[in-house]
Amino acid sequence: MVTYVVRRLITAALILLGASFLVYNLTALSGDPLEEFRASNLPNAAALMQARTQLLDLNTPAPIRYFKWLGGAAGCVVGQCDLGKTLAGQPVTQALGQALVQTLTLVTGATILAILVGVALGIVTALRQYSALDYGVTFMAFLFFSLPIFWIAVLLKEYGAIGFNNFLAHPDIPIPAALGIGIIAGVIAGVVAGGALRRKAIVGAIAFAFVTLVLVVASLTQWFRYPGLGLGVILIAGVGLAFGITVLAAGLQNRRALYAGLTTVVIGAAVYFPIQPLLDLATPLMIVILAVVTIAVGVAAGYFWGGYDRGQGMRVGGITAFVVAAMILLDRFMQSWPAYFDNGKIRGRPIATIGAATPNLQGDFWLSGIDAFTHLILPTIALVLISLASYTRYTRSSMLEVMNMDYIRTARAKGVSERSVVMRHAFRNALIPIATIVALDIGALIGGAVITETVFSVRGMGFMFLDGISHVDPNPVMGVFVCVAITALFFNLVADLIYSALDPRVRVK
């Protein structure tokens, strides 16, 4: 194992050296760094050209300049990084730090969401292979996958931000619009429901009626201006979720697990009012602590209900508690929405098209939380939409493969419930190849959101890379390259190690 890791690390270092040599020279030879001064009619154009030549050390041939750069970069090993300076005179290490933060803000949420949604869709479509749902999801996934992101992003900005903000100014939903959205929701629900045509029709009709009604009520109560869930919705949704989570994690026949879930819903409802004054003073740290406490309470509820499979009860309790707490949190965010909406910096147009935060917005945890949400929602949707396809398709095929394995048939034959077959025997094993893909994707994401960054005006790693290329300035390009390459190589290694840890059949040598 250790020899394997060492061997991989040595190979990685060699790959990095070779690749960096290539990238440096390709960048340095990609154009004329003095281009902007060549045709200049400034009286001091020659002096400026000389200053630039000196700054970029252009009198040294590129391959030799690479070794100078490498000398500085090698200092990173002993903690004295010198990756050179950008054209503006900023040290590349410092610029990288700033760019990395911007990029991570942009891609972290999107990556997690894409994985969660993608894997879930993959599982569902695999279980309903060749159904209308399967075809529908596949169609949509490939549609989004093949759309250019700059186009999706511009459309999202036009309708998701500008259009939605216009709507928020007068949040009335006309009846025909409510009916239209209701019909769409009904059709989707019908397709998702599966089963006989009659069942599909009933589910569809219920969804249609429910969604239409909700929209009409939301319009009448100006819900989009003054949103909130309230204790009632949290309670009803909580009970529903408790049942749902029990079905997935334990099976309804495990009554004690269900009771554990329901108990946490009741506890959540009970603390809803007492917790509000504390939430008014919230800080990020407090929310984290509260989340830990909540899960602990849920797990404790499962523990005390006990039963033949205590672990299942604890799991149901913990997950339910987390979800209920999340709803309370969401409700609290919604309570701050009117204050955010009417804020002088927001001026009634909350959904943003650029940047990561509203400048000079001074607000508490809730306001700044909403602000981050309104800025990140559009880029996140854009990134999720285009990366859904790979996760969905990989999970689907992996799940299908596993479901056709002999041991699944064996499990079924010995009378294991379908829930256990899917959740315990199939799902976990289907995730093994996904782990590899996820690890590799993380490496690619850091440098891969170039277009999204440009459209949403985030000066992250991609922007730095492009800017360096367009000025024929190898230093920032190399900075980004080294970062991305190291992450990619590292996660490649991690992926292989995880694989062997997850799958006992694979052993590293």
Nearest approach, Cβ of residue 443 and another protein (Å)? 23
Residue 98 touches another protein, criterion: CB under 8 A: yes
Residue 487 touches another protein, criterion: CB under 8 A: no
Residue 105 touches another protein, criterion: CB under 8 A: no
Nearest approach, Cβ of residue 29 and another protein (Å)? 10
Q: Which stretch binds another protein (CB under 8 A): 28-36, 170-178, 297-305, 382-390?
A: 28-36
| Cβ pair 137, 389 in contact under 8 A | no
Nearest CA to 104 among 364, 447, 503?
A: 447
Residue 311 burial by CB count (10 A; 0-12/13-18/19+): exposed, middle or buried? middle
Mark residues 33-62: x for contact with another protein by CB under 8 A, - for none.
-xx--xxxxxxxxxxx-xxx-xx-------
Alpha helices, H only, 404-460: 406-413, 418-420, 428-448, 450-455
Residue 357 touches another protein, criterion: CB under 8 A: yes
Nearer to another protein, 259 or 365 (CB): 365
Single residue of 79, 281, 505, 507 touching another protein by CB under 8 A: 281
Single residue of 22, 88, 177, 236 touching another protein by CB under 8 A: 88
Nearest approach, Cβ of residue 38 and another protein (Å)? 3
Nearer to another protein, 136 or 338 (CB): 338
> Which phi and psi angles does 85 have, rounded to 5°?
-125, 155
Question: What residues between 365 and 384 interact with another protein by CB under 8 A?
Answer: 365-367
- Integer Cα distance of 365 and 369 in angstroms: 6
Residue 457 touches another protein, criterion: CB under 8 A: yes
> Which phi and psi angles does 91 have, rounded to 5°?
-60, 140
Nearer to another protein, 335 or 492 (CB): 335
Sign of the alpha-carbon dihedral angle for 181, 184, 189, 192: negative
Instruction: Quote helix, strand, coil % in the chain, to nearest 5.
Output: 80, 0, 20
Q: Which helix (H) or strand (E) holds 469?
A: helix 461-470
Q: Which stretch binds another protein (CB under 8 A): 7-15, 180-188, 338-346, 498-506?
A: 338-346
SS3 363: coil
Nearest approach, Cβ of residue 471 and another protein (Å)? 11
Nearer to another protein, 3 or 41 (CB): 41
Q: 3-class secondary structure for 6-64?
A: HHHHHHHHHHHHHHHHHHHHHHHCCCCCCHHHHCCCCCCHHHHHHHHHHHHCCCCCHHH
Nearer to another protein, 172 or 342 (CB): 342
Total residues contacting another protein by CB under 8 A comes to 76
- Integer Cα distance of 138 and 126 in angstroms: 11
DSSP secondary structure, 92-112, as one string: HHHHHHHHHHHHHHHHHHHHH
Residue 347 touches another protein, criterion: CB under 8 A: yes
Nearest approach, Cβ of residue 218 and another protein (Å)? 23
Q: Which two tokens stand for residue 433?
A: 């190849």
Nearer to another protein, 38 or 414 (CB): 38
Q: Which stretch binds another protein (CB under 8 A): 65-73, 110-118, 181-189, 276-284?
A: 276-284
Single residue of 90, 93, 138, 420 touching another protein by CB under 8 A: 90
Question: What residues between 389 and 448 interact with another protein by CB under 8 A?
Answer: none
| Cβ pair 322, 298 in contact under 8 A | yes
Nearer to another protein, 245 or 352 (CB): 352
Residue 367 identity (one-letter amino acid): L
